Amino acid sequence: MSKVIEVKDLCKTYVVNKKQNNVLKNVNFSIEEGEMVAIMGPSGSGKSTLLYTVSGMDKMTSGEVTFNEKKLSKLNDDQMAEVRLDEMGFIFQQMYMMKNLSILDNIILPAVKSKKNTESRKDTEIRGRKMMKKLGIEDTADNDINEVSGGQLQRACICRSMINNPKVIFADEPTGALNRTSSDEVMNELVGLNNEGTTVMLVTHDVKVAAKCMRTIYIVDGNIQGEYDFGTRATSEDIRMRERSLSNWLMEMGW
């Protein structure tokens, strides 16, 4: 497999009231194409900042992130915006969607905005509806965003994240606002997408979520303290064992 993300000596510093807050400190790791990687750590450890910086949503202070053979520090704002639109997908804990648009219109919005999309609006809508059907939410296409459940809305966000066929999906606590049933359903969809070849990098505090990933990176105070690599994709038969072994490792790391 080839590296789709390579992070070298990544630092992120915020200045608040003339005081420096070094949130990320010389972080190094890589993600192979087709991997599903979880980022875990205590509150305030820098895991969300890591995701935002690696995805170009936040500018790095120093170091380098190479994404799909592009050095992000060399891109200007317009170029970075195009990379995020065309080559990355995003899912957040808070399910941000346009209130004046239907579920379907929210899903296809990135494709409508993309300069690389050459298909007609009708063909884009057809593709969006096919994705909704695959995730079991086709009946919500014409609904407003306040007319569906949290689980349905997050699955719509997954559809939106995939509409431009991204190289990587970045997910920040994608199940954090959901109950256990909806959380399991959303994670099953993400695992399914990963099994089909989509690379996923997600931040989570939930061991049950991380156990479904292939690898977990543990970060504390802006430094990577260790990695736990299952070496294989999760199956329904071994998920409990993965949860136990990951929990034991996290406790050893001071979780």
> How would you list the strands of the sheet with 168-172, edge to edge?
88-92, 168-172, 199-203, 36-40, 215-220, 223-229
Q: Return the pLDDT at 19.
A: 83
Q: Which domains are present in the chain?
A: 3-252 (3.40.50.300)
Q: What is the distance between the alpha carbons of residues 56 and 203, in angstroms, rounded to a whole number?
A: 16
DSSP string, 58-114: S--SEEEEEETTEEGGG--HHHHHHHHHHHEEEEESS----TTS-HHHHHHHHHHH-
DSSP conformational letter for 54: H
Phi-psi region of 136 (alpha: psi -120 to 50; beta: other; left: phi over 0): left
Q: Which helix (H) or strand (E) holds 161?
A: helix 150-162
Query: Is the separation of the CB atoms in 148 and 178 below 8 Å?
Result: no
Q: What is the distance between the alpha carbons of residues 71 and 100, in angstroms, rounded to a whole number?
A: 36
Q: Return the pLDDT at 49.
A: 96
Please tell me the pTM assigned to this model: 0.93
Query: Is the separation of the CB atoms in 108 and 124 below 8 Å?
Result: yes
Q: What is the distance between the alpha carbons of residues 8 and 62, in angstroms, rounded to a whole number?
A: 9
Query: Is the separation of the CB atoms in 142 and 103 below 8 Å?
Result: yes
Contacts of 56 (CB under 8 A, 6+ apart): 65, 67, 72, 75, 80, 83, 84, 88
Mean pLDDT in order along the chain per 10 residues (255 residues): 93 88 94 97 94 96 96 96 96 86 97 93 96 93 94 92 95 87 87 93 95 97 96 90 97 92
Query: Is the separation of the CB atoms in 104 and 139 below 8 Å?
Result: no
Rg (CA), the chain: 18
Q: Return the pLDDT at 1.
A: 64
Give which of 159, 163, 31, 147 is closest to 86, Cα–Cα: 163
205, with CB counted inside 10 A (0-12, 13-18, 19+), is: middle
Q: What is the distance between the alpha carbons of residues 163 and 231, in angstroms, rounded to a whole number?
A: 29
Q: What is the distance between the alpha carbons of residues 168 and 161, in angstroms, rounded to a whole number?
A: 9
Structure tokens given for 236: 């329904």
